[in-house]
């Protein structure tokens, strides 16, 4: 019956498949965190420092997803809310670095900045491709991981463009401005994940027969 088939939910991937995907992404992010953080501290780049913290945040998010897969709808909603808050960690780190950089807007080393951001874009691009297949399964959990990886690619490309501008202007202000943009990107991603988790919590209450105001 065609009408009935159209109303059915898409099949859910095996938990083992989704867990393998997020654990692979967690390993990639954890490894590159050390690379980017060391370069960021060496050249004093606000945007790279914020991005390196983001790699560590992505590691935590994907490890949390690996633990939460297979949980009930209500528990997945709780995990989704936790991950929305985790997404704000890089934003807080970026704010702190921006405040410090404003007092001394020295331009970072452009060559190392661009090369490091290029490597980050490759890692995040691979992560996004891995998560592309599982992003529509397990609700806000895998959606959070995919959104984070996708946004990170955009951030990395922006850092490369900022490096070019820095090379031309020889100013540290483009780095400061981009650090502020990274804050906004993570805030919007956190809001979307929070809203998805809230929808799951309402669905869980409905399934349990609870009254919804």
Rounded distance between C-alpha atoms, residue 75 and residue 197, angstroms: 10
Residue 34 lies in a domain: yes
Helix spans in 69-139 (H): 73-86, 89-103, 110-132
Across 117-142, average pLDDT = 82
| Under 8 Å between Cβ of 64 and 90 | no
Across 24-36, average pLDDT = 95
Percent of the chain predicted with pLDDT > 70? 85
Residue 1 lies in a domain: no
Query: Which range marks the domain in which residue 200 is found?
Result: 14-207
Give pLDDT, residue 6: 38
Residue 3 lies in a domain: no
Give pLDDT, residue 140: 60
- The pTM score is 0.74
Residue 107: DSSP 8-state: P
Domain count, the chain: 1
Angle, vertex CA 55, rays to CA 12 and CA 201, nearest 5? 40
Tens-digit pLDDT profile for residues 143-164: 777 887 888 898 899 999 999 9
Residue 6 lies in a domain: no
Tens-digit pLDDT profile for residues 39-80: 988 998 888 988 888 888 788 778 878 877 767 777 777 877
Hunting for tokens 């998010």 — which residue is that? 61
In angstroms and rounded to an integer, the radius of gyration of the C-alpha atoms of the chain is 19
Residue 212 lies in a domain: no
Rounded distance between C-alpha atoms, residue 31 and residue 103, angstroms: 32
Residue 213 lies in a domain: no
């Amino acid at each position: 019956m065609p009408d009935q088939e159209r109303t059915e939910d898409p099949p859910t991937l095996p938990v083992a498949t989704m867990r393998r995907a997020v654990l692979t992404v967690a390993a990639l992010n954890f490894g590159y965190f050390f690379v980017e953080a060391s370069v960021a501290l060496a050249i004093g780049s606000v945007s790279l420092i914020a991005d390196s913290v983001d790699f560590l945040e992505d590691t935590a998010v994907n490890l949390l997803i690996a633990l939460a897969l297979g949980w009930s709808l209500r528990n997945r909603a709780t995990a989704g809310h936790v991950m929305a808050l985790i997404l704000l960690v890089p934003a807080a780190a970026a704010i702190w670095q921006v405040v410090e950089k404003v007092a001394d807007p020295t331009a970072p080393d452009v060559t190392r900045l661009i090369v490091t951001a290029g490597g980050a874009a490759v890692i995040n691009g691979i992560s996004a491709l891995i998560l592309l297949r599982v992003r529509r399964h397990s609700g806000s959990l895998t959606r959070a991981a995919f959104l984070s990886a996708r946004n990170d690619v955009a951030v990395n490309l922006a850092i490369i463009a900022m490096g070019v501008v820095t090379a031309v202007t020889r100013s540290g202000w483009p780095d400061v401005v981009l650090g502020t943009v990274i804050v906004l990107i993570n805030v919007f991603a956190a809001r979307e994940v929070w809203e998805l988790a809230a929808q799951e919590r309402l669905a869980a209450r409905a399934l349990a027969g609870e009254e919804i105001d």
